[in-house]
Amino acid sequence: MPSRPPVQQPPDVRVESPDVQVRSRGPRRRSPYRGYVYVLPAFAVYFCFAVLPALHTAYLSLFEWDGVTLGDWVGLGNYQEIFQDSILRRSVLNALVLVVFFSFIPIVVGLAMTGLLARFRRPGMGAYRFLFMLPQVVPLVAVGVTWRWLYGDDGLVNQTFRAVGLDGVTRAWLGDFGAALIAVGLVGTWVLSGLCMMLFLSGVQKVDPSLYEAARLDGAGPVREFVSVTLPHLRGEIAVAMTVTTVAALASFDIVYVTTNGGPGEQTTVPGLLVYRLAFSEGKVGLAAALAVVLGCLILGIVYLINRLSRSES
């Protein structure tokens, strides 16, 4: 009998499932420096146009330099002069007074307008918002020229007082030693109130309407409803508004330069105006740089304090 051929066994082929293949490769590891690559272009621009000029300004503040010839090293002498010069100290105090008109009053006005517009919605509110926001889109130089005319001897402000029989109140507002700083501050109030109102109106949109309905069912009036429901939800917007307006007050230049140029005397002089005078009119670039550094540190300190307070309250 012929012998039977041997049976060949199939080759041992292993087919690995996709899961096994993926598991064998292991998790893909991302480079910890990948995120820095994305922010590098923006950081390079910021470093070249913000950080480097600030460091150069701090370096110039250590010299007595007229901007043309070689400077003389004076160390912290310029900073010592700032704290000893009465005009420089007065400018810082004037800027702090302007914070009241540029920041606190606009925030109060903005909150009041937000409470009215959010509760009593009527047709045409969009036009009203546009008119209230209009000062923000007008150049500050044009705002200053307009208010200089309004505050004049025959301006609209004095004409209004004469029309209601208050002739004794009329004066040259921007030339009066006691009223000039307040008059300039009210211009800032007019400019920044619209910005605060728009910030608060955008914040009101995120409030759940059921909260207002629940408050009204509990018998809350408009004031109670605003204090208990609206105001707690606007903490973040209030912190932003306070930061923006405080920086605008401390770094103010345009409105003061156009309306009073620091006068009468030094009643409305602010640090921003003094930096311009010292650097470009009096040739004291080192002293101007030192004042700019002090102003920058003051702004950073106040902004940091505002942010800390807003976070602790939230």
What does each of the 314 residues of the chain score in pLDDT, given as a tens digit? 445 555 555 555 454 555 545 455 555 666 777 888 889 999 999 999 999 999 999 999 999 988 888 888 998 999 998 888 888 888 889 999 999 999 999 999 999 988 888 776 666 677 777 777 888 888 888 899 999 999 988 889 999 999 998 888 888 899 889 899 999 999 999 999 988 988 998 888 888 888 888 888 888 888 888 888 888 888 889 999 999 999 999 888 989 999 998 888 888 999 999 999 999 888 899 999 999 999 899 889 988 998 888 776 55
Provide the pLDDT for residue 232: 87
End-to-end CA distance of the chain: 98
Range of the structural domain that residue 226 is part of: 68-312
Q: What DSSP designation does 72 have?
A: E
Asked if 196 contacts 189 with a C-beta cutoff of 8 angstroms, the reply is no
Is residue 16 included in any domain, yes or no? Answer: no
Is residue 175 included in any domain, yes or no? Answer: yes
Question: At a CB cut-off of 8 Å and minimum separation 6, what does 161 contact?
Answer: 167, 169, 170
Is residue 63 included in any domain, yes or no? Answer: no
Is residue 78 included in any domain, yes or no? Answer: yes
Is residue 10 included in any domain, yes or no? Answer: no
Is residue 94 included in any domain, yes or no? Answer: yes
Tally of domains in the chain: 1
Is residue 228 included in any domain, yes or no? Answer: yes
Is residue 165 within a helix (H) or strand (E), and if so which, with residue range? none
SS3 256: helix
**What is the CATH classification number for the domain harbouring 83?**
1.10.3720.10
Is residue 5 included in any domain, yes or no? Answer: no
